[in-house]
Every structure is written in C-alpha cells, then in structure tokens.
Amino acid sequence: MNRRQLIQFFAGLGVAASLISAPVLAQDKPIKIGVTAGPHAEIMEQVKKLLEKDGVKLQIVEFTDYIQPNVALSSGDLDANSYQHQPYLDAQIKDRGYKLVSVGTTITFPMGVYSKKIKSLKDVKEGGRIGVPNDPTNGGRALLVLQAQGLIKLKADAGLKATPLDVIDNPKKIKIVELDAAQLPRSLDDFEAAVINGNFAESAGLSPTKDAIAVEASTGPYANVLAVRIADKDKPWVAKLVKAYHSPEVKKFVIEKYKNSVITSW
C-alpha cells in the first residue's frame, strides 16, 4: 500500500472500531430510576430482573420524600421515576415547569386512616387533631377520604385539590394538621388519627386491610405512573421498561406479596 492507501485503511479501522464499540458502551450504561422506599422499590427489583433478560441494566435509586425524585429526573440525574400518581405529577409540572410525562400506569395504594387511640372515626373527640399530607394533591385526596367518612364537608367545586380552607362543615371541629406525607406514620402518637398514603403505611408496617380504621374507595384517579423526560419518551428502553413492569410475573409478585393492599393497573 502507498501512504494514501495506508491512511484510508487505518481510518476505516477507526470507524469500524467506533461502530462496534458504541452500542457496547451504550448498553453498559444503566438506566437510573428513582423510587420511594417500600413497595415501589421492591416491585422495581422484580422489574430489574426482567429487564436484565432483555439486555437492559437498571439502577434503582431510593428516596424518602416526594419532592426529590422529580427534581432529579428533571435535572438529568435520573432517567425515570416510579412513585407518584398522575394528579401529583400534573401539579408538579404546572407548579415547577418540569418537562416530564407519564409513559404507563403502575399500581394504586389505597389511602387509609390509621390511629393508635381510636377504633372508629365515630370516636373522634370534638376538637381532635387529624393529620393529612401537606402536598396539594395528597392533601386534597385525604380530605376527600374524611368527607366520605362524614367527618367534614367540602365546597362542591373543591375537587382533587381541596385544602383545609375548602372545609365548609366540620361538626366535631376537628383540627386538620398538615404534615409531610412520609412523617405521618411516625407521628401517629401526636394525632387522634392520620390519613396516610399506602406506600408510606406499608413501609411503616401498616396494612390498609388490617390496620386502617377507614380506607378510600378502590375507584379513582390515583394510579401511580412511570415518568420520564418528554425528550426520552420514545426511546426503546422506555417501551422495554413499561413492558417489563406490565408483565404477568410482576403482577403475580404484587398480588402474592401485598394482597389487597396494593392494586395493579394492568
């Protein structure tokens, strides 16, 4: 070969090497997904096993609050998250301008009312303190549970975003105390009762079917979702993630482990 041919030959080798190595490097990079501790994390471990068989590596990152998983996803520190229902995601997008989208539903945790002091909400004392989550969507959800149980009445147009200011009838003059959702299980001693999200109840060893003195209706808009950045929603790994989550294997795991405490959406 002359000099020109040698240059072209080695340049070709370089292109070929880059074409061969590029997919390997991309494949070796795990998809990072944020979850809250408890059932969301445990279910995602099952999803991880299925994805590995499909050639996708998944790295699970656990959080203890509702705020940071969306912050991390929006900033690019995560590729996806699985912990929130659609009304909460919608509120976060509206309030914070996140470019996020849900790509599939997952599970529903029935919200329950728990107490260490009373056996029924009929036994709530006048002026008793009842804890509810302090984020807008879960707080509104909790108030709807209390309304369904006859403790309060909300404005007709309050809807899913009801706040304590929307209470128009409160016969027992209960004091509604807003607190971070993750803190409610650990604060039961401070309340006559507290309305607690199912995932945080499960993490604290509380079962909606065994320990709750009241549970919200099974129908509603509160199915949790898998969320990604809008720019990523059509990437192949997203479809694989949804497929693995919606698999018969994961459904069987959820039913056998959580019974009626967690409801699948597929």
Note the pLDDT tens digit of each residue in 235-262: 999 999 999 999 999 999 999 999 878 9
Q: What pLDDT is attached to residue 161? A: 87
Q: What pLDDT is attached to residue 136? A: 84
Q: What pLDDT is attached to residue 2? A: 56
Q: What pLDDT is attached to residue 1? A: 58
Q: Which domains does the chain have, with CATH numbers?
A: 3-109+222-264 (3.40.190.10), 112-215 (3.40.190.10)
Q: What DSSP string describes the chain?
A: --HHHHHHHHHHHHHHHHHHHHHHHHHHSPEEEEEETTHHHHHHHHHHHHHHHTT--EEEEEESSSSHHHHHHHHTS-SEEEEEEHHHHHHHHHHH---EEEEEE-EE---EEE-SS-SSGGGPPTT-EEEEESSHHHHHHHHHHHHHTTS-EE-TT-GGG--GGGEEE-TT--EEEEE-GGGTGGGGGGSSEEEE-HHHHHHTT--TTTT-SEE--S-SS--EEEEEEGGGTTSHHHHHHHHHHTSHHHHHHHHHHHGGGSEE--
Q: What pLDDT is attached to residue 32? A: 98
Low-confidence ranges of the chain (pLDDT < 70): 1-27, 218-219
Q: What pLDDT is attached to residue 5? A: 57
